[in-house]
Amino acid sequence: MSYLETQLDIPMPQRMRYTLIKMTSIKSWRGKARQLRTEVYALYLAFRDQRVPWYAKAFIIVIVAYVLSPIDLIPDFIPVLGYLDDLVLIPAGVYLALKMIPKEVLQECRQRVGSEPLSTKSKWVAAAVIISIWLLVVHMIAKIIW
């Protein structure tokens, strides 16, 4: 029984129940996506902190590069598997990177996320760096092949 049925004693058709369940799950996915975006920005801020160990910074670079990269490990046009890497690898990588960062640094970075929005200049610089890296990789592969 749904909330409306229990609280207002209004019977609800099956189709309407399905729509409410669907809307609830979409809201929960949106919330998780918003939280993941916040955590990725916290990783960016932690990367710039001097108290974060070098191995955590290296792993953060790999994760952020993969998130921003237009090239996936498994291409998205492959049914189901194409999006599986985005749904599994990115959250798992973010989780592991967050575990590598000292707790006090991570708390400070999470607090700064709300008060310090990411500038559009930073987004363009990050995109340019990622594209440059991919172009360098493609150039090196082409040089090896030919």
Four-residue CA torsion sign, 32, 37, 40, 41: negative
CA-wise closest residue to 44 among 123, 130, 124, 136: 123
Q: For the chain, which residues make up each domain, given as ranges?
A: 3-145
3-state secondary structure the chain: CCHHHHHHCCCCCHHHHHHHHHHHHHHHHHHHHHHHHHHHHHHHHHHCCCCCCHHHHHHHHHHHHHHHCCCCCCCCCCCCHHHHHHHHHHHHHHHHHHHHCCHHHHHHHHHHHHHCCCCHHHHHHHHHHHHHHHHHHHHHHHHHHC
pTM of this prediction? 0.59
pLDDT value of position 20: 47
Of the candidate ranges 10-19, 25-34, 66-75, 134-143, the one whose mean pLDDT is the lowest? 10-19
Q: What's the maximum distance between 2 C-alpha atoms anywhere in the chain?
A: 74
pLDDT in tens, 106-143: 999 888 887 776 666 666 777 787 788 888 888 899 99
